[in-house]
Amino acid sequence: MNNNTTINWDEIPDIITKEQFYRICHISKTTALNLLRSGKVPCEYSDKKTRCYRIRKEDVKNYLEQRAIYPEAYSAPRGWYCGGNKKSPKEVPPIIIEDMHDYYADKLINYSDVMTTQDVCNFTGYCKTAVNRWCAKEQLKSFRKGNRYLIPKVFLVDFLCSIDFRAIQMALQCPFFVT
């Protein structure tokens, strides 16, 4: 069943909240939260206590279409529904981390030394909201120029090799896993 045929998109506002999102998509609040926090569904995060997510109608349509084709790409990480994903990836031996650093440094050779959030999005396959959230939470070291985050390439490589990044469930379209 395609959810796009049962929804009257003309009645849906251009910008919706998380509450409207989970009702439109017939998913749980917890699933909606996972999709928004992980960046699988692009959104604006306002950092307010309530109604902090603003989601574009086009992104909801795209999510429903892609979910019908690739349902496994939108599944929650293991442990998400029973108290959150508390299991972190295991430590990796230092030699592997060094190899990862070399690998990512080689992959980023054509990018400038200081990257924009859009550059990071293009490289990782994650949406701008997710990259901005990593910067805001200081998981990804960056600096601000005006209202934009700028990310030195060396900090991006460190982040890509970190436990924080490895704990994120990768989307199927991520360029690292394309063969």
For 109-141, what is each residue's pLDDT tens digit? 999 999 999 999 988 888 898 899 899 989 999
CB contact at 8 A, 111 and 171: no
Give tens-digit pLDDT for 22-65. Answer: 999 999 888 888 888 888 888 888 777 777 889 999 999 999 99
The CATH number for 3-74, chosen from 2.50.20, 1.10.1660, 3.30.2130, 1.10.3470, is: 1.10.1660
Evaluate the CA torsion angle 95, 88, 129, 59 in order and state its sign. Answer: positive
Q: How many CB atoms lie within 10 A of CB 48?
A: 8
Residue ranges of domains in the chain = 3-74, 94-177
CATH class belonging to 94-177: mainly alpha
The larger pLDDT score, comparing residue 103 to residue 84, is at 103
Topology alike, domains 3-74 and 94-177: no
Q: Is the pTM of this model over 0.85?
A: no
Over residues 5-31, the mean pLDDT reads: 88
Which residues are paired to 53 by β-bridges?
Answer: 45
CB-CB contact of 75 with 34 (8 Å): no
